[in-house]
Amino acid sequence: MTTPHLSVPAPKLHLLVVAGGRGLRAAGGGEVPKQFRPTGRGMLLRVAIDTFVVGDGEAPARPVSVTITAPAAWHRQVTGELCDLQQPLVLADAGDTRTASTWNGLRALEAAFAPAPGDLVAIHDAARPFASAALLNRLVAAAAARGGAVPGVPVPDTIVHREQGRAHYLARESLVAVQTPQVFRWDLLREAHAWAAASGASYTDDGGLFAARGHEPAVVDGEIANWKITTESDWRRAADLLSE
């Protein structure tokens, strides 16, 4: 007798966008953080989300929910900007650090959507509006296999580590600059952030925290076009691109 083949359902993907930074280096002296400034395609935060939630036919890994961490003073504006979002949306307050903001978002995600242990979470910076759906697809596939995945691009400059007045040259061919989105399995990511919250640990990205807990993320090819808006000149360049 032939045993019927039982297909295993693909894990659900949840999107968490970190928008808690002050972002004033790109504000041109104003008071509006970069992630909430308007562009030709809506608020910058909206642009960073749309590629993943709207899709372009290349995104089978489309998120089933969206969680955003943002300063409480901006929750009303964010909700208004995203009122037509097709995915269910939840907001969380920003924390004092990147790690704390992500933990706030993960707890809000858990309360609202109760992800299964094997579900995936994509964590993205609101200040990276040019990531592609194809990049998210690669990360989802790698994270499903390894538990976590981050995108990296080659480092164009020679990197020197300075310590006690001495310069240590690092092998450039072995270095990559890490970007977002980064994708992780829910149970592993939650455990890592619960540990960080309990111990007061802070990391510049979630891949670093993930690795610190003994889970080595896969590093997949990132995208040079997926650059982060940091300065006012970055903002002007992005605004020009988004007005086309």
Q: How many CA atoms lie within 13 A of 130 on its CB side?
A: 16
Which string of b and e fits 95-112 if b means at least 16 CB within 10 Å? bebbbbbbbbbbbbbeeb
Q: What is the pLDDT of residue 111?
A: 98
Q: What is the DSSP string of 221-236?
A: E--TT-PPP-SHHHHH
Q: Residue 116 pLDDT > 50, yes or no?
A: yes
Residue pLDDT, tens place only, 68-86 = 999 999 999 999 999 999 9
| Amino acid at site 153 | V
| Amino acid at site 186 | W
Residue pLDDT, tens place only, 121-172 = 999 999 999 999 999 999 999 999 999 999 999 998 999 999 888 999 989 8
Fill in the DSSP letter of residue 29. Answer: T
| Amino acid at site 69 | T
User: Among 2.40.33.20, 3.90.550.10, 1.10.3370.10, 3.40.50.720, what is the CATH number of 13-150+177-242?
Assistant: 3.90.550.10
Where residue 29 falls among pLDDT bands split at 50, 70, 90? very low
The structure's pTM equals 0.91
3-state secondary structure of 200: coil
Q: Which tokens go with 141? A: 């596939």
**Which is nearest to 68 in space by CA: 150, 126, 138?**
126
Q: Which residues contact 225 (CB under 8 A, 6 or more apart)?
A: 130, 132
Q: Residue 56 pLDDT > 90, yes or no?
A: no
- Please say whether the beta carbons of 106 and 121 come within 8 A: yes
Q: Which residue has the higher pLDDT, 140 or 1?
A: 140
Q: Residue 244 pLDDT > 80, yes or no?
A: no
Q: Where are the domains of the chain?
A: 13-150+177-242
Average pLDDT over residues 179-206: 97
For the chain, the average pLDDT equals 91
